[in-house]
Amino acid sequence: MRISVTSEGGSQGPATSAGATGAGPTVAAEIGAAEIGAAEIGADEWSVLAPDCPSRVVFGRIGERWTMLVILALARAGTLRFTELKSQVGRVTPKVLTETLRALEDDGLIDRRAFQDSPPRVEYSLTPLGVSLLEPIQAMREWAEQHVPEVLASRERAASA
């Protein structure tokens, strides 16, 4: 797969291989096409690198500190109440967890179901859209688990320098 990135104000051209001679603002990188596919990124207005790309909203949500942990906890358990979810996720404050859950619900990634019990009860579960995030999150999780020793060693070297 070729990824083309166009700088602001530059013209877009086809992706070029590293070391190619050609003027212009396009930078290209080869990525394992067999693993990812043969789509070109950055060739239209939907490029996440474009400042006005609407997909940045989704990247922002997924990249928030607690989002992936909430999604993984709900994927594991199916349905959780707030306190159960908080204990699964860990060191998140109730306020931040509430904000995260509201945002995920607004984005259609989780479902909030309130019961008229006494005391009131609320349960959270993934929507089909939320379930569709599990595959990319799993890939990120596997990468993180595989490369954590390298990342930690690099942090240690940086702190020592």
| Cβ atoms of 58 and 109 closer than 8 Å | no
| Cβ atoms of 107 and 71 closer than 8 Å | no
Chain centroid to CA 150: how far? 21
More confidently predicted of 56 and 140: 140
Cα–Cα distance measured from residue 13 to residue 3, given in angstroms and rounded to the nearest whole number: 11
pLDDT score for 52: 83
- Angle between helix 67-77 and helix 82-89 axes, rounded to 10 deg: 120
Give tens-digit pLDDT for 40-79.
Answer: 444 455 578 888 888 888 887 888 889 999 999 999 999 9
pLDDT score for 3: 33
pLDDT score for 57: 83
State which of 7-11, 35-39, 44-48 shows the largest mean pLDDT.
Answer: 44-48
- pLDDT for 21 beyond 60: no
Helices vs. strands in the chain: H and E counts, helices first: 7, 5
Cα–Cα distance measured from residue 69 to residue 11, given in angstroms and rounded to the nearest whole number: 40
CA dist list (Å): 74 to 1, 56, 78, 79, 102? 33, 24, 5, 6, 15
SS (H, E, C) 72-136: HHHHHHCEEEHHHHHHHHCCCCHHHHHHHHHHHHHCCCEEEEEECCCCCEEEEEECHHHHCCHHH
- pLDDT for 133 beyond 50: yes
The reported pTM is 0.66
What does pLDDT average to over the chain? 77
Nearest Cα to Cα of residue 84 among 62, 102, 92 = 92
- pLDDT for 129 beyond 60: yes
* pLDDT interval class at 27 (50, 70, 90): very low
* pLDDT interval class at 16 (50, 70, 90): very low
